[in-house]
Amino acid sequence: MKNSFIYKLTSIICVFALVLTVFVGCLDGDSKNAVYPAAYGSYGADFARELAESYPFRKAFTEQEREAGEMIKSELEELGLTVEVQSFTNAEGASSQNYIVNIPGQGFLAVDDDGNYNTIKKTIVIGAHYDSFFAQEEIPEGYTYDGIDDNASGVGCLMTIASQISNYNNLGFDVELVFFGAGSIQAGSIYYYNSLTNAETSSVECMFCIDGIYAGDKLYANAGLNSLDLSQKYQMRRKLYQVYDVVYDNPLYSGYEFSLYYNECGIIADLNGDGIEDVYREVSIRVSDHTVFDNAGVPVVYFDSYDYFFDEISKMKETKNLNLQEFGGQVGGTLIDSSTVLDPIFVTTTDGLQITDAEGETLSATSEPTVVDRLQVRINCLAYSILETLEKGSDYGITFEEYDALMQQTSNRVTTTPSDDEDEVEG
C-alpha cells in the first residue's frame, strides 16, 4: 500500500491475523482441534485495497479498467490458476474483458428413469465485477474516489474464494469464478451468459453474485425475482437457504460478529413488473451481474450491503451512518466510495479480542489492542459461507463419496432370522 494509513492498517491487521492463528491449534479436547472458520487473514482485504488504490478510475471500457483486469489475471496466475480472457466490445468499439477460472468438480450421481445411477455435471458460477463507476475526469476537486465498496470489496471476496477453494478437494460442482468487466452496466455478465451453450446454461445450478459488501449497514443475501413465482419459490431459493444454514451452523457471529440478513421489509408491491402484487422479502430489486441469470430462470444468490428495513422502497439506502449522508445514504456509485472516507469509519480498534465457540465458551482471548476491519471480516466470512455451501452438494444428485457411504451402509445391514434347529424357548 502506498499511503501511510494503509501501511499502518496492514501491519496492525497482520497482528490480528496472528492472534487468530494462535487459537486454531490444538486446545483441550477433540472439538478444539479444527481450524477456526474463515481464518483467512487479510489477503482479500489487502487485495481489494490495492486494486482500489492502484486503479481507482477503472470505469467500464477505459484503460484503467483494462489494467485492473490485468492485475486480477496476474494474481490468479500467482495462485496457480488458469485464466481464460473473454473480450467484448461496446457500440463504440471499446473493449472490456471477463476473467474466468474454471475449477472442474467430480460430478454427481443421479438416478435415471430405469433406476440406474448416472454421472451428471452441475456448475456453480460465482461472479463479481471489477470496474468502478467513475473515470478520472469525472471526479470533482476535493474527492478521493476509488470504488473500494463498488466493487473492489466484491473482488476481494472472490479472490479469497479463489485462494481457498483448493482446500475443498471433493466438490461435485464445476465452479466458474468470473471477474466481470463493465459490470456497472452489466455488459460483462450479459456477454458471459450469452456465450454459454444450451448445455452449459442448463448445467448452471446457481449463480452467486458478490456486489459491494463494505459500506452498507448490513450484509444481505437475496434470491432472484424469479423466485416470486410461488410454483417455484423453494426451488429458486434452495441455495439461499443453504448459505444461511452455513452462517447459522458456524460460530461466525460469536467469533467475528458477522451476520447475514434476509430482506424482511414485507412491503407489498409489484416487484417484477408482471402485474401481480408481491411481498418484498428474501429478494432485491437491485440490478447487478446476477440479473441476466435471474431473467433466464437460473437460481441466484445476490450479496449486497444495504439497509432494506424501511416501509417504502423509495426510502431504502445503503447506510444510516451519519458520516455518510452526503448522497442520501448511498455510497456505492457515489463520490464518497473511497478508502480514505470509509476506512477511518469501519476499521476500529478494540481494547482486546475474545473468540468464543458456538456454545459461548472462550477459545482465545487477548488484552492487547486489536484492529477490527469490517472489510476483512465481511470478505472472509462471506467467502467461507459460499465455499461451505458448495460442500452441501447438488439439489439433483449425490457425490461419489455419498454414494460409497450409502452402498457401505446398505452392505452392513444384515437381516437375521431364527434357524430351523434353534431350540424353542418357552415364555
C-alpha dist (Å) from residue 401 to 28, 119, 123, 169, 185:
31, 13, 18, 12, 42
Give the dihedral of Cα atoms 133, 47, 144, 67; nearest 10 deg: -60
Residue 399 is predicted with a pLDDT of 86
The rounded percent of the chain whose pLDDT value lies above 90 is: 76
Single pTM value for the model: 0.86
- Residues 299, 301, 305, CA angle at the centre, nearest 5°? 155
Q: What is the pLDDT of residues 377-395, one digit of tens each?
A: 999 999 999 999 999 999 9
Beta bridge partners of 100: 84, 178
- Assess whether pLDDT exceeds 50 at residue 2: no
| Residue 419 covered by a domain | no
Confidence of residue 303 (pLDDT cuts 50, 70, 90): very high
What digits encode the pLDDT tens for the residues 316-348?
999 999 999 999 999 999 999 999 999 999 998
Residue 427 within any structural domain of the chain: no
Would residue 425 count as lying in a domain?
A: no
* pLDDT exceeds 70 at position 427: no
- E-strand ranges in 275-346 read 278-279, 300-306
Rounded Cα–Cα distance for residues 75 and 68 (Å): 11
Say whether 205 sits in a helix, a strand or coil: strand
Could you report the per-residue pLDDT of 184-193, keeping only the tens digit for each? Answer: 999 999 999 9
What is the DSSP secondary structure assignment for residue 151, as one 8-state letter? I
Averaged over 232-255, what is the pLDDT? 95
In the predicted structure, residue 14 carries a pLDDT above the cut 80: no
For residue 159, being part of any structural domain is answered with yes
pLDDT the model gives residue 403: 82
> Given this model, what pLDDT does residue 8 score?
44
Residues of the chain with pLDDT > 70, as a percent, come to 84
Domain of 41?
4-411
Read off the pLDDT band of 402 (50, 70, 90).
confident
pLDDT at residue 401 tops 90 = no
Confidence bin at 413 (pLDDT 50/70/90): low
Question: What's the pLDDT at 407?
Answer: 81
33 pLDDT band, cuts 50/70/90, is: very low
- Contact (Cβ atoms closer than 8 angstroms) between residue 399 and residue 170: yes
pLDDT averaged over the chain? 88
Residue 426 lies in a domain: no
* CATH code for the domain in which residue 120 is found: 3.40.630.10
**pLDDT grade for 15, boundaries at 50, 70 and 90:** very low
User: Would you say residue 349 lies in a domain?
Assistant: yes
Chain center to CA of 5: 27
pLDDT at position 273 is 94
Regarding predicted confidence, which is higher, 402 or 144? 144
- CA 122 – CA 299 distance, rounded (Å): 13
Residue 406: which pLDDT band, with cuts at 50, 70 and 90?
confident
Mark 160-191 as b/e (b = at least 16 C-beta within 10 Å).
bbbbbbeebeebbbbbbbbbbbbbbebbbbbb
Q: What is the pLDDT of residues 102-130, one digit of tens each?
A: 999 999 999 888 888 899 999 999 999 99
**Overall average pLDDT of the 158-178 stretch:** 96
392 falls within a domain: yes
Q: How many domains does the chain have?
A: 1
Average pLDDT on 139-147 reads 97
How many C-beta atoms surround the C-beta of residue 129 within 10 A?
31
Choice among 148-157, 276-285, 304-313, 364-373 with the minimum mean pLDDT: 364-373
Average pLDDT over residues 255-260: 93
Model pLDDT, residue 411:
76
Domain membership of residue 344 (yes or no) is yes
Instruction: Pick the closest to residue 262 from 206, 302, 210, 294 (CA basis).
Output: 302
Q: Is the pLDDT of residue 30 over 60?
A: no
pLDDT at 405: 83
Q: Give the mean pLDDT of 263-284.
A: 96
In angstroms, rounded to a whole number, what is the distance separating the alpha carbons of residues 104 and 107?
Answer: 8
